[in-house]
Amino acid sequence: MAGSELTIEDLKRILRDAAGETEGIDLDGDILDQTFEDLGYDSLALLETGSRIEREHGIELEDTSVTVVETPRALLAVVNEQLAAERAA
């Protein structure tokens, strides 16, 4: 899996496995620019999500890069930037 892009669909699946889905929130809707807080995910949920992304993609993220980003779009950008850098290296 290392090297392939993390898509929003990947992220939704990982979020569901890592931390479940908040009642009343539809992850299948357009969530790219909603905040993780509004989606019902706290810092521990994001830590667990980050750890699963690392395992799937064979990368190591800075702890802070997962917990300071506020939206799925920002998280995808951080992860994919790092994946691109490792492909180029």
Partner 1 sequence: MTTSVVVTGIGVTAPNGLGTDAFWAATRAGESGIGPVKRFDATGYPAKLAGEVPGFEATDHLPSRLIPQTDHMTRLALVAADWALADAGVALDQWQQFDMGVITASSSGGFEFGQNELQKLWAKGGQYVSAYQSFAWFYAVNTGQISIRNGMQGPSGVVVSDQAGGLDALAQARRQIRKGTRLIVSGGVDGSICPWGWIAQVAAGRLTGSEDPDKAYRPFAADADGYVPGEGGALLILEDAESARERGARVYGEIAGYAATFDPKPGSGREPGLKRAIEAALADAGVTAADIDVVFADAAAVPDLDRAEAEAIGAVFGPRGVPVTAPKTMTGRLYSGAASLDTAAALLSIRDGVIPPTTNVAPAPEYDLDLVVDGPRTAPVATALVLARGYGGFNSAMVVRKAAK
Looking at 4-12, 29-37, 42-50, 74-82, which segment touches partner 1 (CB under 8 A)? Answer: 42-50
Angstrom distances, CA of residue 13 to CA of 6, 8, 16, 53: 11, 9, 5, 11
Report helix, strand or coil for 56: helix
33 in contact with partner 1 (CB under 8 A): no
Q: What is the CA radius of gyration of the chain?
A: 12
Looking at 1-9, 48-56, 68-76, 78-86, which segment touches partner 1 (CB under 8 A)? Answer: 48-56
Among 1, 2, 32, 44, binds partner 1 (CB under 8 A): 44
